[in-house]
Amino acid sequence: MSSKDFEEEGERKGKRVGWWDWKPAKIALEMLFNAGILMVAYRKNFQRYYDMTENVLPSDIDTTEPTEEERRRFFLKRAIDALGVANQVDMAGYYYEWSTRASLRGKGLEVAVKELLHDDVLGEVTVEGDPEPNYMLTKDFDIAEKVARGDMECFNNITFLSPFDNLLWSRMRLKTLFNFATKLEAYLPRDKREFGYYAMNVLYRNRIIGRFDPKLHRDSEVLEIKSLRFEDHFRSDSVFEEELSQAFRSFMEFNNAKHITFGKIVPRSLRIDTSYC
């Protein structure tokens, strides 16, 4: 069942202000979900459908309560796996402490890192521009060595990053690695936005070089690129323009659109192949 299956009574029936102004039934469902009594069986669009945990969780799942040390080790490995390369500040900031019930800061973090290094799960690496020791999962060393040799065939030259991509979560880390500042403007009033409602960042090889604001018109199957802006230091060339055209075509197809249009806020000198539009 979803929250809409529960009727609401009283003066505030149907009157909601903002995303988090939930009706009592939704609050109760989320509390039961957070307590593990309910789970989400499936979603329809953005609507959660809840069921009793025993009806959703496979019976062979081990539900034994982990120790704090086991939780710390588990979430630390998850954080580094998501970040790829991280120092201890990055690791400590990846999760909210209330969500893990394990301290990923201070002495506990130092001990856990030493144990993972000893067990050859982690390896220490140096990141140019960062004076702190950084760490990687040893399973990722092969990828790092390919990058160091300049073998980039396993990567796309251009990648579009959602504003919610975990590469962008830490502003300090983003500044250190890419000298770039991202902005999430979806929650700002329209007249306060500089880059757009859902500005996506453009990763070109090993640099974030700009951002664009897309809008999908599902009824007409049109992907509109409302704006496209590059960082001041970036200079386009024919190779980049060809790869960017291919990236936009792939992005259009991924979103099940059949046409793509570009707005007025696009560099005039940029030549994008729109023959597929």
Q: Maximum distance among all alpha carbons in the chain?
A: 67
The Cα–Cα gap between 123 and 139 comes to: 9
- Domain residue ranges in the chain: 3-56, 68-148, 158-265
Handedness of CA 149, 151, 157, 161 (dihedral sign): negative
Measured between its terminal Cα atoms, the distance across the chain in Å is: 42
- Per-residue pLDDT reduced to its tens digit, 160-176: 999 889 888 888 888 88
pLDDT at 31 over 80: yes
Average pLDDT score over the chain? 88
119 in the Ramachandran plot: left (φ > 0), alpha (ψ -120 to 50) or beta? alpha
Which of 49, 6, 51 has its CA nearest to residue 25? 6
pLDDT at 211 over 60: yes
Percent of the chain residues past pLDDT 90, beyond the cut:
51
Least confident of 16-25, 133-142, 156-165, 217-226: 16-25
Of the segments 46-55, 163-172, 228-237, which one has the largest average pLDDT value?
46-55
Which pLDDT score is estimated for 50? Answer: 98
The Cα–Cα gap between 85 and 76 comes to: 12
Contacts of 168 (CB under 8 A, 6+ apart): 161, 174, 182, 201
Confidence of residue 271 (pLDDT cuts 50, 70, 90): confident
CATH number of the domain located at residue range(s) 158-265 in this protein: 3.40.630
* Residues 86/134, Cβ–Cβ less than 8 Å: yes
Which pLDDT score is estimated for 97? Answer: 80
Which pLDDT score is estimated for 154? Answer: 61
Which pLDDT score is estimated for 7? Answer: 83
228 phi and psi angles, rounded to 5 deg: -145, 120
pLDDT at 277 over 60: no
Q: Which residue has the higher pLDDT, 263 or 88?
A: 88
What residue type is 216 in one-letter code? L
Which DSSP helix (H) or strand (E) runs through 83?
Answer: helix 68-83
Confidence of residue 117 (pLDDT cuts 50, 70, 90): very high
Which pLDDT score is estimated for 275? Answer: 64
Q: Which residue has the higher pLDDT, 83 or 129?
A: 83
Which pLDDT score is estimated for 15? Answer: 65
265 phi and psi angles, rounded to 5 deg: -90, 70
Q: In the CATH hierarchy, which top-level class contains the domain 68-148?
A: mainly alpha
Kindly give the interhelix angle for 68-83 and 106-118, rounded to the nearest 10 degrees: 70
Determine the average pLDDT of the residues in 240-247. Answer: 91
Residue 75 DSSP class: H
